[in-house]
């Protein structure tokens, strides 16, 4: 249900926002409006948890509706509200979708569904209403049916489009049922309203986006979600198969005599109006809603989502659907003149390079060659299959001959690398040129036609066998790469590297049955054949695109606007040069949270004082692994509820898990929290089940205090998942997730950037290498703070942060970089973390009791280690419940502000008597004092703060400003007043 909105007018467009917008959201919407109004491209960075997705949706949809010349629709509790300017008679005469504007044949629906029949009755009632009275007609009794009343009610809320020359069909009334016919007849030169293609990295992020869209007044905008069969197929004959794509095609082609009855009923879901008004999906829906509807109607959700794209105003999909030319072709996606919004676009460079690259293994090429060979031998379109077979033979023979050129690179690996221009020269020698390549594409088009005309006059058609889908995939992928290589007179040839690599892999092979002495094959009925491990040679040919601008070359000049946004785009200057797109509108927004809500600290040593440097040499040692384990155990004992720990690689995760299992540390972690590790690969269902286990462990705490999720940077957990509130009270990162420097593709990319950094403005190879690490690190850190009232701790474990902050801290996000504090010892870090955690827990309890709160301690309070009589690391205590009142600030003179805060001291029970807990109260007071003293950053220096507390004196070492405070007990409240010098 859409909440009451706040209206903003930006760039001449009224935007309905579901709440009061943050300054960062207003800045984003202003930038987006400028980009859409003038057809410019936008590069927008806004921290995670600052509401950038909501700003994207509202601004883009408001601009789109403004192009129709109408206000935003307001949908509340399933009821429609719209300002009416004209009478209902005028609405019938001038309605945007009025049937009088076009002949009945043009508006006749293709299928006589329930919605179609209702539409016909509505149209006939309209014609009868406007018909002139005839005095000579016999009087007829006027009967008001319920259907007529409903029709008039619907007409009374339809939006009026009087002054629009080319309005889009209304999505809120039955007249939208004619939208397919209107679209088919829209061949004039009137301006078309751009669709919004909203791309994210994963389907999980799409679910979060559609959930945000439900909160807005634009939740009823026609939409669809494009996805693979793995997410949307509901046919029980297809779902169990490992390759759903292949099984689906078999059923569609009825190869085994069986067809897909779900596909035959796709018409039940392929219309936007039917989806909204017949099936009840009035507001924004996610992929699970569509799949559930498909199961209920026994209709194909996969093809329904593709059909819904025709009438959709906004289309959600993973952004490789928009960048990969093969996927765009298969999904019938046309981006000409459309709006392209890419959220979480920090990975867009990698995704663009991958979409223009292809790796082919020798076995796949052999199977494609054999498939084409069988077609030629069967005399099936030999004139078209023969050139394609020769093409595969040429590539295969060249790979075989080039093995003699391979050079050793590592253990059992060898490679040979050519530039794109060198490969084109080699291909020219084996008969593959720009001219012959054009002919090969024509042959491929012909062999994919499933029907062929025969007989006199080519009047009859017959079905013709076609090559299998694996062969089609190999040929299309190779042709896609060659298309880029030959494009614009080989413009992008220098942007490619072609690598032939030889390696070895262990595979399972089944031993053949051996006959006995009499020649019989005997094997027990329930005994499986034995398999043996065999080391086999693997030969691969990789066409690597090193320039993401290659994939963007099809988009930059054809789309209306490109909007890239993420929380980790910095440095933003490299995007224009890397993508080949001029981003004339750029924004770096600030975070919406207070500095006091996040604790950011670097830790360079563990509990035993050992240095922690997560380089390859140190990470392999047992001393490092044991120290990291002890550190993580202390953090789990200090921080309640959910803790996320991110490692640089799956290899390190496996090593740490094995070591901790052997030393017994893993068992200690499980005694404290439920421990879950991110799986390498696996299906969507398994991953969702794992996350649910993590959430349940936090929500239903028993003997264990929450859960610990150990994940990997660049994995599923670190990208786009929302760990709100208790689901992530601390994020621990171990090391810096640099890419594998020994990876051949990484090495070639670094060389490529060094070669073109001066001419194209690219980052140097070394700088590019570092940026890849920090973008992954910033994404992991962003899992913690997810909304304005959230709080948490960010713990960066590696001594490189403290030893060389100018090099390693500058790569962090702006909002994190400003709050970082370096800790000399692990003990100091834990004392500060305890203070922060306790204060936040107090604040939560006080808020639950509807009491007025003051701002909690800020991250710099990490420099308030308390001198107490307790030895060793502090242990977390139970949440405390002081009453804290809002501090009052008064200025005494020009430069001497005074602050005061009152709070109720905590009391504990000793021998049946309630006494003051001095240690906890001193800790609480020091946190309050430090927070209050940070309001003016110009007072910077070293000082010793003396607190007089109930005739006791305690010393605090602090790094910030000079101050002196005195405390005195007045009734049941402790009043603290101090002056800043």
3-state secondary structure of 455: coil
Buried-state track 716-750, b at ≥16 Cβ within 10 A, e below 16: bbbbbbbbebbbbbbbbbbbbbbbeeeebbbbbbb
Structural domain includes residue 667: yes
**Looking at the structure, do residues 473 and 602 belong to the same domain, yes or no?**
no
Q: How many helices (H) and strands (E) does the chain have?
A: 35, 33
Structural domain includes residue 278: no
Q: What pLDDT, on the 0 to 100 scale, is given for residue 374?
A: 93
> Does 571 sit behind a cis peptide bond, omega within 30 degrees of 0 on the bond before it?
yes
What does DSSP assign to residue 278?
Answer: I
Residue pair 649/780 in contact by the 8 Å Cβ criterion: no
Residue at a domain's end among 811, 845, 879: 845
Residue pair 392/457 in contact by the 8 Å Cβ criterion: no
Rounded (5°) CA angle 561-567-571: 80
Structural domain includes residue 638: yes
Q: For tokens 């042709």, name the residue.
A: 479
* Interatomic CA distance for residues 882 and 806, integer angstroms: 40
Q: What pLDDT, on the 0 to 100 scale, is given for residue 124?
A: 52
How do 13-17 and 42-45 pair as beta strands?
unpaired
* Interatomic CA distance for residues 303 and 331, integer angstroms: 10
Residue pair 88/60 in contact by the 8 Å Cβ criterion: no
Q: Which of 388, 346, 387 is nearest to 368 (CA)?
A: 388
**Looking at the structure, do residues 602 and 543 belong to the same domain, yes or no?**
no
**Looking at the structure, do residues 642 and 539 belong to the same domain, yes or no?**
no
Structural domain includes residue 75: no
**Looking at the structure, do residues 540 and 640 belong to the same domain, yes or no?**
no
Kindly report the pTM of this predicted structure.
Answer: 0.73
**Looking at the structure, do residues 543 and 647 belong to the same domain, yes or no?**
no
* Interatomic CA distance for residues 232 and 235, integer angstroms: 9
Residues belonging to the chain: 981
Rounded (5°) CA angle 281-283-286: 75
Q: What pLDDT, on the 0 to 100 scale, is given for residue 521?
A: 64
* Interatomic CA distance for residues 306 and 563, integer angstroms: 23
| Token couple for 595 | 């500095």
| Token couple for 889 | 């600030």
Structural domain includes residue 219: no
Structural domain includes residue 213: no
Over the chain (981 residues), the average pLDDT of each successive run of 10 is 76 91 90 93 85 91 85 39 34 33 37 49 46 37 43 39 37 42 42 87 86 90 90 83 79 76 85 82 88 89 90 91 90 91 88 93 93 92 93 94 90 91 93 92 90 70 85 94 92 94 82 69 61 83 93 83 86 80 87 84 92 90 94 92 93 94 94 91 76 90 87 86 86 93 93 90 90 90 83 92 88 85 90 88 71 40 34 39 35 38 41 42 48 36 33 36 36 38 31
**Looking at the structure, do residues 755 and 828 belong to the same domain, yes or no?**
yes
Q: For the chain, what is the domain count? A: 2
Q: Which of 570, 572, 567, 574 is nearest to 591 (CA)?
A: 567
Four-point Cα dihedral 734, 738, 741, 745, nearest 10: 130
Residue pair 929/945 in contact by the 8 Å Cβ criterion: yes
**Looking at the structure, do residues 543 and 638 belong to the same domain, yes or no?**
no
How do 598-603 and 792-797 pair as beta strands?
parallel
**Looking at the structure, do residues 538 and 620 belong to the same domain, yes or no?**
no
Residue at a domain's end among 518, 548, 578: 548
Q: What pLDDT, on the 0 to 100 scale, is given for residue 88?
A: 33
- CATH number of the domain to which 662 belongs: 3.40.50.300
**Helix %, strand %, coil % for the chain, to 5?**
45, 20, 35
- Residue 310 CB neighbour total at 10 angstroms: 17
**Looking at the structure, do residues 470 and 396 belong to the same domain, yes or no?**
yes
Q: What pLDDT, on the 0 to 100 scale, is given for residue 383?
A: 92
Residue pair 63/35 in contact by the 8 Å Cβ criterion: no
Radius of gyration of the chain (CA): 33
Structural domain includes residue 560: no
Alpha helices in 665-813 (DSSP H): 665-672, 684-699, 744-760, 765-781, 799-803, 805-808
**Looking at the structure, do residues 604 and 738 belong to the same domain, yes or no?**
yes
**Looking at the structure, do residues 542 and 631 belong to the same domain, yes or no?**
no
Structural domain includes residue 745: yes
Residue pair 648/712 in contact by the 8 Å Cβ criterion: yes
Which residues contact residue 193 at a Cβ distance below 8 angstroms, ignoring those fewer than 6 apart? 64, 67, 68, 168, 313
Residues spanned by the domain of 370: 358-454+461-509+532-548
Residue pair 197/333 in contact by the 8 Å Cβ criterion: yes
**Looking at the structure, do residues 491 and 640 belong to the same domain, yes or no?**
no
Residue by residue, DSSP assigns 373-434 as: HHHHHTTSSHHHHHHHHHHHHHHHHHHHHGGGG-EEEETTEEEEEEEHHHHHHHHHHTT--H
Residue at a domain's end among 800, 816, 845: 845
Residue pair 793/731 in contact by the 8 Å Cβ criterion: yes
Q: What region does 680 belong to: left with phi over 0, alpha with psi -120 to 50, or beta?
A: beta
* Interatomic CA distance for residues 84 and 880, integer angstroms: 56
């Amino acid at each position: 249900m859409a909440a009451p909105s706040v209206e903003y007018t930006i760039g001449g467009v009224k935007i309905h926002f579901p709440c009061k917008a943050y300054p960062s959201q207003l800045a984003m919407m202003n930038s987006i409006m400028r980009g859409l109004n003038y057809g410019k491209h936008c590069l927008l960075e806004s921290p995670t948890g600052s509401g950038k997705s909501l700003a994207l949706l509202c601004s883009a949809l408001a601009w789109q509706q403004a192009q129709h010349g109408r206000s935003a629709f307001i949908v509340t509790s399933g009821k429609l509200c719209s300002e009416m300017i004209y009478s209902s008679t005028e609405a019938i005469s001038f309605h945007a979708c009025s049937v009088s504007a076009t002949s009945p044949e043009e508006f006749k629906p293709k299928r006589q569904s329930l919605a179609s029949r209702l539409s016909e009755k509505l149209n006939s009632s309209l014609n009868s209403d406007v018909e002139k009275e005839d005095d000579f007609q016999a009087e007829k009794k006027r009967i008001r049916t319920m259907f007529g009343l409903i029709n008039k009610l619907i007409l009374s809320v339809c939006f009026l489009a009087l002054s629009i020359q080319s309005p889009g069909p209304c999505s809120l009334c039955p007249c939208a049922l004619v939208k397919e016919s209107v679209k088919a007849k829209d061949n004039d030169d009137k301006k078309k309203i751009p669709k919004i293609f909203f791309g994210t990295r994963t389907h999980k992020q799409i679910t979060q986006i559609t959930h945000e869209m439900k909160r807005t007044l634009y939740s009823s905008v026609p939409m669809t979600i494009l996805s693979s069969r793995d997410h949307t197929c509901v046919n029980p004959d297809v779902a169990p198969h490992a390759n759903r794509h292949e099984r689906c095609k078999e059923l569609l082609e009825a190869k085994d005599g069986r067809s897909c009855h779900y596909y035959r009923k796709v018409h039940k879901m392929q219309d936007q109006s039917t989806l909204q008004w017949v099936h009840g999906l009035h507001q924004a829906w996610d992929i699970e809603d569509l799949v559930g509807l498909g199961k209920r109607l026994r209709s194909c959700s996969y093809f329904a989502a593709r059909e819904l794209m025709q009438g959709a105003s906004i289309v959600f999909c993973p952004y490789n659907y928009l960048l990969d030319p093969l996927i765009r072709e298969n999904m019938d996606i046309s981006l000409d003149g459309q709006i392209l919004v890419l959220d979480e676009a920090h990975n867009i460079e990698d995704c663009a390079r991958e979409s223009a690259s292809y790796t082919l293994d020798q076995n796949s090429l052999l199977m494609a060659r054999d498939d084409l060979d069988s077609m030629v031998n069967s005399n099936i379109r030999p004139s078209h299959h023969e050139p394609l077979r020769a093409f595969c033979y040429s590539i295969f023979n060249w790979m075989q001959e080039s093995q003699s050129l391979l050079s050793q690179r590592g253990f059992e690996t060898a490679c040979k690398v050519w530039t794109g221009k060198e490969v084109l020269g080699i291909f020219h020698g084996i008969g593959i040129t720009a001219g012959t390549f054009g002919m090969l594409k024509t042959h491929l088009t012909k062999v994919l036609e499933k029907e062929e005309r025969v007989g006199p006059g080519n009047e009859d058609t017959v079905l013709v066998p076609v090559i299998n889908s694996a062969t089609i995939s190999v040929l299309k992928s190779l042709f896609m790469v060659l298309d880029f290589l030959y494009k614009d007179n080989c413009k992008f040839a220098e942007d490619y590297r072609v690598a032939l690599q030889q390696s070895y892999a262990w595979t399972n092979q089944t031993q053949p049955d051996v006959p006995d002495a009499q020649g019989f094959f005997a094997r027990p009925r329930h005994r499986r054949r034995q398999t043996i491990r065999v080391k086999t040679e693997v030969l691969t040919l990789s066409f690597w695109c090193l320039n993401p601008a290659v994939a963007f070359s099809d988009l930059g000049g054809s789309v209306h606007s490109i909007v890239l946004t993420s929380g980790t785009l910095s440095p933003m200057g490299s995007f224009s040069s890397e993508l080949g797109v001029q981003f004339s509108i750029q924004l770096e927004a600030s975070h919406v949270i207070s500095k006091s809500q996040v604790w950011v600290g670097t830790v360079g040593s563990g509990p035993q004082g050992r240095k922690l440097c997560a380089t390859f040499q140190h990470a392999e040692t047992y001393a490092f692994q044991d120290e990291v384990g002890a550190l993580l155990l202390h953090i789990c004992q200090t921080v309640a509820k959910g803790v996320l720990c991110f490692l640089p690689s799956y290899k390190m995760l496996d090593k740490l898990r094995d070591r901790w299992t052997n030393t017994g540390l893993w068992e200690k972690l499980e005694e404290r929290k439920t421990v879950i590790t991110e799986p390498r690969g696996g299906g969507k269902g398994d991953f969702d089940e794992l996350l649910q286990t993590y959430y349940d462990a936090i929500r239903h705490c028993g003997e264990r205090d929450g859960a610990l999720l150990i994940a990997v940077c660049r994995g599923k957990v670190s990208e786009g998942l929302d760990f709100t509130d208790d689901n992530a009270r601390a994020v621990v990162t171990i090391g810096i997730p640099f890419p594998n420097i020994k990876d051949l593709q990484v090495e070639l990319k670094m060389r490529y950037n060094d070669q073109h950094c001066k001419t194209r403005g690219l980052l140097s190879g070394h700088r590019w290498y570092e940026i890849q690490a920090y973008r992954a690190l910033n994404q992991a850190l962003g899992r913690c703070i997810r909304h304005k009232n959230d709080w948490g701790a960010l713990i960066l474990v590696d001594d490189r942060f403290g030893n060389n902050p100018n090099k390693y801290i500058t790569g962090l996000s702006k909002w994190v970089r400003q709050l970082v504090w370096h800790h000399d010892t692990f003990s100091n870090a834990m004392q500060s973390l305890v203070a922060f955690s306790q204060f936040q827990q107090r604040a939560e309890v006080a808020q639950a009791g509807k009491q007025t709160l003051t701002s909690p301690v800020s991250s710099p309070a990490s420099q308030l280690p308390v001198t107490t009589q307790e030895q060793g690391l502090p242990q977390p205590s139970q949440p405390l419940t002081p009453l804290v009142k809002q501090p009052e600030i008064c200025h005494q003179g020009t430069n001497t502000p005074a602050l005061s805060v009152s709070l109720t001291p905590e009391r504990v029970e000793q021998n049946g008597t309630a006494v003051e807990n001095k240690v906890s109260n001193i800790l609480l007071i020091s946190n309050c004092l430090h927070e209050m003293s940070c309001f003016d950053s110009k007072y910077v220096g070293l000082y010793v703060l003396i607190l007089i507390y109930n005739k006791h004196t305690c010393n605090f070492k602090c790094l910030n400003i000079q101050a002196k405070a005195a405390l005195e007990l007045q009734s049941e409240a402790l009043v603290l007043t101090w002056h800043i010098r």
